Structure 1
């Protein structure tokens, strides 16, 4: 287990009254800290907080399974490495006998070297601790078992009189009554709570990598981490269950608090320990998403719910505070799953009644979302439809598509057919959650086009062109949409505004930016307070900005769009998938790789589920490139294989061709020219690419067949013949104001000039191209062309820095680019061409990294050995893989040995 509480607690009999026996066999086990396990995740930040926090009393408090004990063990090991005397004492219920506790404390202080065990007439343990001059750390684990006032008084006295170099570290499931408020005010308390103990996504990835038991994709790991909410015990139990599961994707989908391993753990460690009133309260309130005293009282009318909630909060019983003015909490999701399953087993007749009581209370408080939820879960579908009739239009305006979709897929179809207006809202929700094909089918079956109700016809007129465009049928969408525009206004503001926004996007794709801008302006006037249409409007205007190279303005618009339909979130991960993928693309372009990867964990699955071609292409290509940047060639290839599979499955030839085009680019970067050429031939669908030439699709703005051929010719063919073709492409892109495309073509032109031996012209071309890139902050467009471009940037930096008219902004931009490129080979470093036609020679530093790799050094150990950062080591490894055509560290070593580069 990566981090857990001990499963066995010592239960020694209490000592006789009035005696203070020294340590024997029964007490000896209390001084043994749990041994570290092989799959331990080292958490330096937590250890640092415990060892060097502001307060000398450290309280590590969290529910079972959050890794309190492991964090304390790691801190203890660190203190001992630093020469600090430490002692560990695991408490149990028998320690509520003050005499027994003092015996154990005497022994602990003696082990610290602060008290002579044979000196019965000298100082006691509390005095010895207070007067200590040498540094020490006393660890008291499982403190929640102690409640006797005399014992608590002794510990409080120790805490209040700790010397300057002494530390008391307490691990507890509940808040101990030790006068903490006073210590907190005096700056003598460091608190480590469940929030700080939770595994981050990176911690979870490290744990699963160390176990090497089951490989999870980034998406599967993200969803498992979300379900576990960083609860370490749940991840541990999941990892063990995965060892027995043949299908990781299915397991992650089903994993919940009712999973046998999690349920057994919660039954034994949590619920069985509670007195009957608290157990009943936990079960009855498990149906609630959020808990406050009022709603809990509606389900428990004869209970003092306010006091009980405060008690549960103090006991840290899987209760998480919810931000807000009112005292509100929620249960940990896995704990809630378990409680609900237990309620179904023990009291099935109460479930529907509890749901309906909750629904009535929320309705009385004008909170329709939980009122509808509980009405549906309680089986009162007619009342749920009444509530939806009154509120669904507002939710549609707010863009709460996933919420609406969840409700409509749960309600019986017969109920929905009785409400034609709700049927149309169900089509909108399906469109943005389950894809345009299913939404089109629902629209056709609704008969709204021929309805006598003009409100329903307006919905159909707004939906149809948008659905066609989302199915990659832009020509049909343009024709039908123009007909619908002639019938505006219809009086249905949402449908009219969405039609205007959809047609703005469709005309932008058709290469008519002026008309698109006019439609966007009209949509803005029509949309009123619709946050959904604000998202749609800002996204489409951002696309126009990006097509014309205005990266900074596009970034601002995409950020607004992704936050438009929800409260602003620091990581911008709560938005609609439509805007989310676009925003991720500009975050990636800014070279914020970790943030882009995090956003993809959220938005790639949504884009895949909805099935929009450009969104699928962009998100999978970014996933592939990020994996390649991190040196994982296999994961990069896997992302493209998945994209190709999705394209074939959904009969989207443009998606299939895009996957092959991106794979060719990846192969070319690895030096596999012949394989890249084969992939280009497989992607060459003349009908498809001829159609693309007459459209402006974001996924192909800078990745299209003609450009891919030019890139291959420059690297593997005759670079000279590509120059006139490049000039024609640059002229065409500039005339159409497609400055982003012109930027990439300019980079390729510089590389072509370099390959023909005209280095001065290449550097000049690079300088003029980077002028525009610098103004808008482009990074990845330059970096993704590979180390050969990096060497030209390096040469241009030398020229720029030696000139009299040095531009400080350009100087800073060039420095950031070169830092991102990482180590680049110079003429002096080259060790000769490699056999097998590799594009670049290995540098001496890369040879040294290979040697350390052979010796079994980890990335961090190599970084320490070479006096460089971890990221520099990753860059070296990525370059080595690329130059050797390797897909893993093991393969790189094997190839290097075969080539005689290492012994």
Structure 2
């Protein structure tokens, strides 16, 4: 059962990811690299070289140097699961918090529905916002950055790189050039690159390492030969030192070295491994199944009690084993050595692997390390165990915003295994909805509904309403909400509030504003009792939308502004609450003539709007951005926004998004004087229209097929506007309480009569539209339909309409 009222911060973080590697014994000081870094003012340092070049060691030395100079420094190890904005952001926040306690901890997700903050980068945006106010110098080290492929995660690091202030630095360790805007960073002199040639050991560093650090006696000529054979490759030198330890025939051994770097590493690793005792070799091989390990984990997986002794022996033998600076005795192998060991293990003990992984998974799950546990269960091919683990933790990861990870795990399960577990179905369905994979979510929801019992009934209810609303099937969403409220079992306050909001939304779309406001009162009572900001945002915004439909734009502005301020004050600025209030506040500002303020809001929130808002809000937001761009003379940006809206509709299977984009493209074509293109766009829009009988949507109030076709008739020389049809539409708008729509239609009627030479009728409708618009101080409701604007305004006598006439003329 999904709890609806308890704050939740997501699954526990793995402290090993926040710990830099430790150091065993003395190491070679990379003084040249340290001096280069200390002398640079670049905000971003890229330490980029193939495996085994000592990137991590060099970064650790820079970390120590920074701390010695009093600069706060943090460390983050990445893994392949970090290609998920919902997962990487809490780790980034936690890492930075260790260096900057004043930053504060990452805010909890609050109500579970706000888990979507992790999907579009809500908490990521909040982190960048908080960091922008930090003036303290700091250094963030991020290792194994080559694992990052996801565009949204790369975008987060790009924004971080360009937002760093004086003394604030980002150091990235990667095996290859990452997908960041390196060219732009170079041009702006914000990038320092430390590459493979810089990381190779010089002759002096080889001497310091072999004779000084490892205590191996070698003649200068032999040291020179070793440096030449390994080309200063640190990994090969470390393996060579392990192989040379205790040998009296170092020169003879040295003559055997040959081959490319990859073959050399394998040869050296084999030589090192062959010198171990059988029990020690067995431990080393089996422990290679872990990314990181401690004695307790090894004992549980191997069924032994001597793992601590073998770890100590491995440390003593310098077996490429690095301690991790975290609580407990945790270690990891150098990636090259681990890769070699795992290949050896697969060849020599493949039959053991499944059992090792299963026992490891069980121990990790017992310590709530579910991500690692599921990885081992999957490696064992034990789908039942994977499903058991996902059943226990799936909703925790959904609440924490790690939707992609939940879906990734669910995708590994056989269909039958997935369908027999309602908890896994529910978690995966929520994740699919938030990822906008609606068809998959519907299939999962259908399977979930076949499971009897009350343990997941609220999940079914909420998922059904959410899915229908996001798919733009508001009729279905409202019906599901009404049926749930009429059920025998009362819903929790949180869910009840959401259901009353859905009913109110449906009443609003039908023009039943009084019942809608009554439903909103009930919703607010329920939601205030649990301080559910997400649900309360919708309650306030639906009230404001009713104000807007009735023409009370300033009342709507006040509601939207107050709600956004409350969201920000509660620390939820970039949750899925903020984009809803922002979209509608921007619309009110735009209608009142403050396009600059509307544009600033939308610029900040548009990515979040795309990922968290209903279709109505998507349409309003993209339409506003397009219109503001057009007013600013940027027709390319305007069309780009409408194309994006259409692409969203295509990707999510929501035809009305494409319809709205085509309607506004038709309008832009008319403004450019291209009637033919306007007609073509309108034809496309008509082909995407929803079935007749569906509820009229909020975003259709001022711009729909009816108004779009009337626009063309006003401009096209071969067409005359159907005045009677528009008058009928106006009467319908008035009877349903849609005063704002009625004013726009009156304005268009005035232009139609003027174009037909009916001056008296034009004057009547003109004064009516202007009077109402002036009372509301709503400028764009008229200015966005300028087809016969100037001659109409010229016909007005000077007087009470002069102020709005002057505004529209400007």
Q: TM-score, normalised by structure 2?
A: 0.51
Compute the displacement of 1:535 (Å).
Answer: 1.1
Task: Give the number of the structure with larger relative contact order, counting CA–CA contacts within 8 Å between residues 6 or more apart.
Answer: 2
Residue 435 (structure 1) aligned with residue 423 (structure 2): no
Residue 714 (structure 1) aligned with residue 683 (structure 2): no
Which residue matches 1:738? 738
Which residue matches 2:540? 538
Moved more, 578-587 or 706-715: 578-587
Aligned match for 1:603, one of 601, 605, 608: 605
Residues 436 and 700 (structure 1), Cα distance of their counterparts in 2 relative to 1, 3 Å cut: farther
3-state SS, counterpart of residue 757 of structure 1: coil
Matches of 1:742 and 1:501 in 2, distance apart?
26
Residues 430 and 765 (structure 1), Cα distance of their counterparts in 2 relative to 1, 3 Å cut: same
Compute the displacement of 1:588 (Å).
Answer: 2.3
Q: What is the 5 A alignment of 1:635-674?
A: 635-674=637-676
Residues 684 and 376 (structure 1), Cα distance of their counterparts in 2 relative to 1, 3 Å cut: same
Residues 702 and 327 (structure 1), Cα distance of their counterparts in 2 relative to 1, 3 Å cut: closer
Which residue matches 2:686? 684
Which residue matches 1:349? 324
Contact 1:562/1:580 (8 A) holds in 2 = yes
Matches of 1:741 and 1:404 in 2, distance apart?
42
Which residue matches 2:457? 457
Which residue matches 2:445? 444
Matches of 2:742 and 2:595 in 1, distance apart?
24
Compute the displacement of 1:744 (Å).
Answer: 0.8
Contact 1:282/1:339 (8 A) holds in 2 = no
Residue 556 (structure 1) aligned with residue 558 (structure 2): yes
Compute the displacement of 1:333 (Å).
Answer: 10
Matches of 1:581 and 1:487 in 2, distance apart?
34
Compute the displacement of 1:503 (Å).
Answer: 2.4
Contact 1:290/1:329 (8 A) holds in 2 = no
Compute the displacement of 1:572 (Å).
Answer: 9.1
Which residue matches 2:172? 338
Compute the displacement of 1:573 (Å).
Answer: 9.5
Which residue matches 2:595? 593
Residue 703 (structure 1) aligned with residue 679 (structure 2): no
Which residue matches 2:202? none
Contact 2:618/2:645 (8 A) holds in 1 = yes
| Structure 1 runs not aligned, ≥5 long | 1-254, 297-318, 357-370, 380-396, 802-814, 824-903
Q: What is the 5 A alignment of 1:246-325?
A: 274=65, 277-278=68-69, 282-283=73-74, 287-289=95-97, 291-292=99-100
Q: What is the 5 A alignment of 1:767-786?
A: 767-786=767-786
| RMSD after superposition | 5.6
Offset from partner CA, 1:25-80 (integer Å, 9 cap, x none): xxxxxxxxxxxxxxxxxxxxxxxxxxxxxxxxxxxxxxxxxxxxxxxxxxxxxxxx
Which residue matches 1:105? none
Offset from partner CA, 1:291-348 (integer Å, 9 cap, x none): 456999xxxxxxxxxxxxxxxxxxxxxx999799999987689934638999xx9977
3-state SS, counterpart of residue 350 of structure 1: coil
Residues 577 and 331 (structure 1), Cα distance of their counterparts in 2 relative to 1, 3 Å cut: farther
Matches of 2:75 and 2:435 in 1, distance apart?
34
Matches of 1:320 and 1:638 in 2, distance apart?
26
Residues 437 and 728 (structure 1), Cα distance of their counterparts in 2 relative to 1, 3 Å cut: same
Offset from partner CA, 1:554-578 (integer Å, 9 cap, x none): 2222234444544269999984333
Which residue matches 1:631? 633
Compute the displacement of 1:437 (Å).
Answer: 1.4
Contact 2:622/2:641 (8 A) holds in 1 = yes
Offset from partner CA, 1:564-598 (integer Å, 9 cap, x none): 54426999998433333223222222232222223
3-state SS, counterpart of residue 557 of structure 1: helix
Matches of 2:795 and 2:714 in 1, distance apart?
19
Matches of 1:622 and 1:515 in 2, distance apart?
30
Compute the displacement of 1:626 (Å).
Answer: 1.5
Compute the displacement of 1:702 (Å).
Answer: 1.4
Residues 512 and 346 (structure 1), Cα distance of their counterparts in 2 relative to 1, 3 Å cut: farther
| Structure 2 runs not aligned, ≥5 long | 1-45, 78-94, 105-126, 143-168, 177-319, 332-368, 378-394
3-state SS, counterpart of residue 447 of structure 1: helix
3-state SS, counterpart of residue 688 of structure 1: coil
Residues 569 and 725 (structure 1), Cα distance of their counterparts in 2 relative to 1, 3 Å cut: farther
Moved more, 542-551 or 327-336: 327-336
Offset from partner CA, 1:776-795 (integer Å, 9 cap, x none): 23122222113632553465
Matches of 1:619 and 1:258 in 2, distance apart?
44
3-state SS, counterpart of residue 702 of structure 1: coil
Contact 1:508/1:696 (8 A) holds in 2 = no
Compute the displacement of 1:621 (Å).
Answer: 1.6
Residues 560 and 424 (structure 1), Cα distance of their counterparts in 2 relative to 1, 3 Å cut: farther
Matches of 2:550 and 2:428 in 1, distance apart?
34
Matches of 2:479 and 2:422 in 1, distance apart?
26
Which residue matches 1:752? 752
Q: TM-score, normalised by structure 1?
A: 0.46
Matches of 1:619 and 1:653 in 2, distance apart?
17
Residues 257 and 553 (structure 1), Cα distance of their counterparts in 2 relative to 1, 3 Å cut: farther
Moved more, 504-513 or 722-731: 504-513
Contact 1:549/1:739 (8 A) holds in 2 = yes
Matches of 1:570 and 1:794 in 2, distance apart?
49
Residues 707 and 466 (structure 1), Cα distance of their counterparts in 2 relative to 1, 3 Å cut: same
Which residue matches 1:622? 624
Compute the displacement of 1:517 (Å).
Answer: 2.8
Offset from partner CA, 1:150-205 (integer Å, 9 cap, x none): xxxxxxxxxxxxxxxxxxxxxxxxxxxxxxxxxxxxxxxxxxxxxxxxxxxxxxxx
Residues 374 and 822 (structure 1), Cα distance of their counterparts in 2 relative to 1, 3 Å cut: farther
Compute the displacement of 1:436 (Å).
Answer: 6.9
Aligned match for 2:581, one of 557, 579, 591: 579
